Amino acid sequence: MGDIQTDGELILRTQAMPADTNANGDIFGGWIMSQMDIAGGMMAKAVAKSRTVTVAVDHIRFIKAVHVGDIFSCYGKVSHIGNTSLKITLEVWVEPVLRSNLASKDSFQVCEGEFTYVAIDDNGQKHKVVR
């Protein structure tokens, strides 16, 4: 895999499949966002040591297209811990499948965003994030 320039932790790795495409044949942005939320939710739960729920996507920026067969890796880091919430900064990098228009299989960043999660108890009530 190519040199990935991120200080985030690898949370999720998968492969983009034909069922995940939009009308143009590229991977649907909603699928990418869903994978980011899954990854961010796993990190939020580990940090909060409890259930968490997504309360906001503070921003998301799609940089390049993802194609069928690309190896999709989502990296994250905690950017802020509040009283009951935490923000996770996420980056998506892909290792492209070998295509004639790509000279190498070097990984490159395709998306970034920041998601906010709130720690909840078993009754769905907010609680403090334990540090």
pLDDT of residue 103: 55
* Separation between Cα atoms, residue 59 and residue 64, nearest integer Å: 16
Amino acid in position 69: G
pLDDT of residue 131: 73
Domain borders along the chain are: 9-120
Token reading at 104: 């190498």
pLDDT of residue 7: 87
pLDDT of residue 2: 55
Show pLDDT as tens, one digit a residue, over the chain (131 residues).
457 788 899 999 999 999 999 999 899 999 999 999 999 999 999 999 999 999 999 999 999 999 999 999 999 999 999 999 999 999 999 999 866 555 567 899 999 999 999 999 999 999 999 87
- Which residue bears the tokens 């069928």? 68
Amino acid in position 44: A
Query: In the CATH scheme, what is the code of domain 9-120?
Result: 3.10.129.10
Nearest of 112, 110, 61, 115 to residue 86 by alpha carbon: 115
CB 7 within 8 A of CB 77: yes
